[in-house]
């Protein structure tokens, strides 16, 4: 948000240009704290598209399937084995601290009984019940924060400007009253979500089809905050959100804003796609996750349940394996700060909130000598996180009267390596201090 007086300056400059609204920096920092500490969220794309196992909404928009055939999937959406507590428990097991459910995707089919439209699973599918409420209740039982994905654009609503790729309905400038009708509709649905479900986070999507003025982004933000001043809003609101969402893209360097979240599929699709077996391995997801938290972000990892509410076995496996790793390494993950620049250590790292412990993430098979350059602190102890073994290190090339730190070599025996990613905890003599000078005295 604008005027991050309390945050580092590089950050304020960039975020001031990204976000349009002015808001008390201390208040926003405060409300973002749980999000910063959470690191891992689970994204759930669930809708009528899971019946045919086709692209969520995009399949009719891109004319891979007719709109009529797309909507015929409603007949097969049963939620017959939907067990919201089992979903929440699995999410908890993965280590995630929040979850985001697609309450309404671009196709306009709401997962709750919205009074604004009959196009919802309660009225028009055999599921015939609210699917949001029991899930949020289950998440809350597990102390997991609740996020509601909501598509601003709605290709099914007759008052919305667009329909398919090659057919729009009208231009706003030609018919303001119609656009206003649409605005009342989508803002009414957002209000319903706030009143009915009290989400901790609103995850907008589809803002690219209109600008902030057309969406009335400032008003939408105020509306949400009037129901929950601590609600977090993702960045897809044309400049009025709280954090960035670089989709499917792990930034190659640290993004210049205070909060960001990588949303990432587990295979190549957001929703259930039986023909897509391109699942990432647990090791791959863990290395992506380490990279993300190293760069100061969160990972929002997606799953796509089947129409009956069962979660594909590959995804269950992935979440459970991820959970084993996050459990064993939690001190290096949750509540930490992003790590030290690559030149000091060639791998991901994080720093404890008090800055006294430096965590180094080594790919699973890494053992032997691990090098750190330019660390001015003395190391008091090195342990293998989740295993407790103390490791030896030596400092090479430190001249007593020079401020240039020596090179630190840590000896990592093969037997302490983790199946997926080993993490070392370096307890320092004070807050992490790095040397980035030119050498000499």
CA distances (Å), origin 143, targets 178, 229, 334: 42, 20, 15
- For residue 45, the minimal CB distance to ligand GLC (Å) is 6
d(CA 211, CA 236): 11
Pairing mode, strands 349-351 and 337-338? antiparallel
Count of alpha carbons within 13 Å of 208, Cβ hemisphere only? Answer: 3
Stretch 26-65: interaction string toward ligand GLC, x if CB under 6 A:
-------------------x----------x-x-------
Comparing CB distances to ligand GLC, the nearer of 208 and 346 is: 208
200 binds ligand GLC (CB under 6 A): no
The enclosing H or E element of 30 equals helix 25-31
Comparing CB distances to ligand GLC, the nearer of 69 and 247 is: 247
- For residue 300, the minimal CB distance to ligand GLC (Å) is 8
- For residue 245, the minimal CB distance to ligand GLC (Å) is 7
d(CA 100, CA 198): 13
CA distances (Å), origin 168, targets 155, 210, 214: 10, 13, 16
Comparing CB distances to ligand GLC, the nearer of 136 and 270 is: 270
Cα 223 versus chain centre, distance: 23
Comparing CB distances to ligand GLC, the nearer of 66 and 248 is: 248
Ranked by CB distance to ligand GLC, the top (closest) residue is 263
Which residue's structure tokens are 């960035």?
244
- For residue 247, the minimal CB distance to ligand GLC (Å) is 5
Comparing CB distances to ligand GLC, the nearer of 45 and 97 is: 45
Which residue's structure tokens are 């609210």?
130
205 binds ligand GLC (CB under 6 A): yes
Query: 282, 420 in Cβ contact below 8 A?
Result: yes
Pairing mode, strands 162-164 and 145-151? unpaired
Comparing CB distances to ligand GLC, the nearer of 47 and 258 is: 47
270 binds ligand GLC (CB under 6 A): yes
- For residue 41, the minimal CB distance to ligand GLC (Å) is 12
307 binds ligand GLC (CB under 6 A): no
With contacts defined by CB under 6 A, how many residues of the chain interact with ligand GLC? 7
- For residue 155, the minimal CB distance to ligand GLC (Å) is 11
Stretch 104-143: interaction string toward ligand GLC, x if CB under 6 A:
----------------------------------------
Please provide the distance, in angstroms rounded to a whole number, between the alpha carbons at the two ends of the chain: 42
Burial class of residue 24 in the structure, from the number of CB atoms within 10 Å of its CB (0-12 exposed, 13-18 middle, 19+ buried) = exposed
Comparing CB distances to ligand GLC, the nearer of 47 and 312 is: 47
Four-point Cα dihedral 421, 424, 425, 427, nearest 10: -160
d(CA 62, CA 178): 25
CA distances (Å), origin 337, targets 143, 242, 352, 388, 420: 22, 18, 6, 22, 22
d(CA 23, CA 16): 11
Q: Sign of the C-alpha dihedral, residues 53, 58, 59, 64?
A: negative
263 binds ligand GLC (CB under 6 A): yes
Stretch 228-247: interaction string toward ligand GLC, x if CB under 6 A:
-------------------x
Comparing CB distances to ligand GLC, the nearer of 271 and 282 is: 271
164 binds ligand GLC (CB under 6 A): no
261 binds ligand GLC (CB under 6 A): no
Which residues are at the interface with ligand GLC (CB under 6 A)?
A: 45, 56, 58, 205, 247, 263, 270
């Amino acid at each position: 948000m604008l005027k991050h007086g309390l945050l580092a300056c590089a950050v304020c400059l960039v975020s001031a240009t990204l976000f349009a609204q002015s808001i008390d920096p201390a208040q926003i920092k405060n409300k973002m704290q749980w999000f910063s500490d959470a690191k891992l969220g689970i994204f759930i794309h669930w809708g009528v598209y899971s019946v045919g196992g086709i692209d969520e909404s995009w399949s009719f928009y891109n004319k891979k399937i007719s709109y009529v055939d797309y909507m015929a999937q409603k007949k097969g959406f049963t939620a017959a084995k939907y067990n919201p507590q089992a979903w929440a428990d699995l999410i908890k097991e993965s280590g995630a601290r929040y979850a985001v459910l697609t309450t309404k995707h671009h196709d306009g089919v709401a997962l709750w009984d919205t009074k604004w439209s009959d196009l919802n699973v309660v009225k028009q599918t055999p599921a015939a019940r609210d699917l949001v409420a029991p899930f949020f209740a289950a998440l809350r039982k597990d102390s997991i924060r609740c996020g509601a994905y909501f598509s601003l654009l709605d290709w099914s609503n007759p008052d919305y400007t667009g329909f398919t790729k090659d057919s729009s309905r009208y231009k706003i400038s030609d018919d303001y009253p119609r656009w206003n009708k649409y605005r009342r509709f989508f803002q009414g649905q957002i209000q319903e979500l706030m009143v009915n479900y009290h989400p901790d986070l609103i995850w907008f999507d589809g803002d690219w089809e209109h600008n902030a003025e057309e969406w009335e982004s400032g008003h939408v933000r105020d509306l949400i905050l009037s129901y929950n001043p601590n609600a977090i809003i993702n960045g897809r609101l044309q400049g009025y959100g709280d954090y960035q969402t670089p989709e499917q893209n792990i930034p190659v360097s640290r993004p210049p804003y205070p909060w960001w979240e990588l949303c990432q599929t587990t295979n190549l699709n957001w929703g259930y796609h039986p023909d897509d077996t391109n699942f990432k391995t647990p090791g791959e997801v863990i290395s992506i996750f380490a990279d993300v938290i190293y760069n100061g972000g969160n990972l929002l990892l997606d799953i796509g349940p089947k129409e009956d509410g069962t979660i594909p076995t590959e995804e269950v496996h992935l979440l459970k394996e991820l959970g084993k790793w996050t459990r064993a390494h939690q001190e290096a993950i949750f509540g930490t700060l992003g790590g030290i620049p690559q030149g000091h250590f060639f791998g991901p790292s994080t720093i404890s909130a008090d800055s006294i412990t430096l965590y180094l993430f080594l790919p699973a098979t890494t053992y032997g000598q691990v090098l750190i350059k330019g660390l001015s602190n003395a190391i008091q102890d090195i342990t293998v996180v989740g295993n407790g073994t103390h490791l030896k290190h030596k400092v090479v090339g430190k001249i007593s009267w020079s401020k240039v730190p020596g090179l630190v070599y840590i000896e990592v025996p093969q037997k302490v390596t983790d199946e997926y990613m080993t993490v070392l905890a370096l307890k320092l003599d004070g807050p992490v201090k790095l040397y980035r000078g030119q050498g000499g005295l």
